Structure 1
Amino acid sequence: MKKIKKTLAVAIGLMLMLFAGAQENWPPLDNSPMDMIYLPVDYPILKIRKSAPETPVIKIIYSRPQKKKRTVFGELVDYGSVWRLGANEATELDLFKDVKIANTKIRKGRYTLYAIPYKEKWTIIINKENDVWGAFAYDEKKDILRTDVKTEKNAEPVESFTMMFEKTGTGANLLITWEDVKVSLPVTL
């Protein structure tokens, strides 16, 4: 019995050492974690409760960089330059139905969202290219929408780049905010 216990203890110890060694090869936690939003808001929860439509209308996947005491707009993110709307991979826009974005009909499909920030406005871009890192391979010829939205000031600075949907009478506004800046992109269903 003692021999079995000793052998079992040695085997468990070896497995733990192998597991601990394997963990050393995992990549470190990303500084700009990926996040996802849906329209309707909380779609996966609604689906579990069986109160959701068969498919969502929109899903956006994006990374959330942190301000970290930096000046974001005009320094970290250049004014007048195409920006991936977040960090890492460019922001992905999945439309499960045709919608109007800023009064332009956009067909169901998968797209990339970019922005060109300025102090008083942002130019929001929807582009056909997918699975791209940053805005390094951005191709203006693949744009299907460019629209300007006014910037607003937040009362308090926002540490983490954030997107969310705000329901309206005709659909929703996509709110995008970071630092002390916020923009609102209208989506009509």
Structure 2
Amino acid sequence: MKKLVLIAFFGICSLVGSAQVRFPQVDKSPMDMSYYPANYPILKIQDKVKEPLMARVVYSRPLKNGRRVFGELVEYGSIWRLGANEATEIELFRDAKIGNSRVKKGRYSLFAIPSQDKWTIILNKDTDVWGAFLYDAKKDVARTDVAVSRNTEPLEAFSMFFESNNGNIYLMIGWDQETVRLPISFF
């Protein structure tokens, strides 16, 4: 009888153990998010919000991993999704001016065409897309060229954040040895 109980016990344990949910592994390029104003959700729960939410960017953060990024991994002159995995998205909570283009509030994909001295940053109305494989220039709502500056230290992870400087707002985009500043103003 004891053998039968033990066999039943181990049988049930093995069934329970094999029925566990298997979660996917952590992505090599994890998703991240940046807000303007910076840390908006934290400020909101702390009741320290001084200005309304204006913009949010959602992107994946690939790593350099010893590779030469621009000119090789990310080809100069080719459309790039600004990160990894799904195309990067920016959500504007007010109408804005990006470069010289007026853009209505809403959610847009962000792409870039990098070159050695400048990047063309593109806002496109097609969202929830993987990479730049189905990029359609007919759906662009804004394009602006921004100058490249060289970093003194290489950035291991692709990074984006909003910066406010003397009343101007910039989306800072950097990876490896390159950084660009996308000017944004809100109405």
Task: Return the TM-score normalized by structure 2.
Answer: 0.88
Q: Is the 8 A contact 1:170 1:188 kept in 2?
A: no
Partner residue in 1 for 2:3? none
User: How far apart, in 1, do the equivalents of 2:110 and 2:18 lie?
Assistant: 44
Match of 1:161 in 2: 158
Residue correspondence of structure 1 range 1-189 to structure 2 within 5 A: 15-16=16-17, 18-19=19-20, 22-23=21-22, 26-52=23-49, 56-189=53-186
Deviation at 1:51, TM superposition (A): 2.3
AA aligned to 2:19 is: L
User: Gapped runs of 5+ residues in structure 1?
Assistant: 1-5
Deviation at 1:28, TM superposition (A): 1.9
SS in 2 for 1:174: strand
User: Could you list the runs of 5+ residues in structure 2 that have no partner in the other structure?
Assistant: 1-5
- RMSD of aligned residue pairs (Cα, Å): 2.3
- Which runs of structure 1 show a deviation greater than 3 angstroms over 4 or more consecutive aligned residues? 9-18
CA-CA distance at 1:130 after TM superposition: 0.8
SS at match of 2:19: helix
Decide whether the 8 Å contact of 1:161 with 1:178 is kept in 2: yes
Please give the per-residue CA displacement for 1:55-100, whole angstroms capped at 9, x wherever unaligned: 5110110000000000101110000000000000000111111111
- Report the CA distance between 1:118 and its aligned residue: 0.1
**What is the aligned residue count?**
182
Identity of aligned residues (%): 52
Q: Which amino acid aligns with 1:18?
A: A
Q: Report which stretch shifted further, 125-134 or 94-103.
A: 94-103
CA distance in 1, matches of 2:116, 2:97: 26
Shift of the alpha carbon at 1:16?
4.8
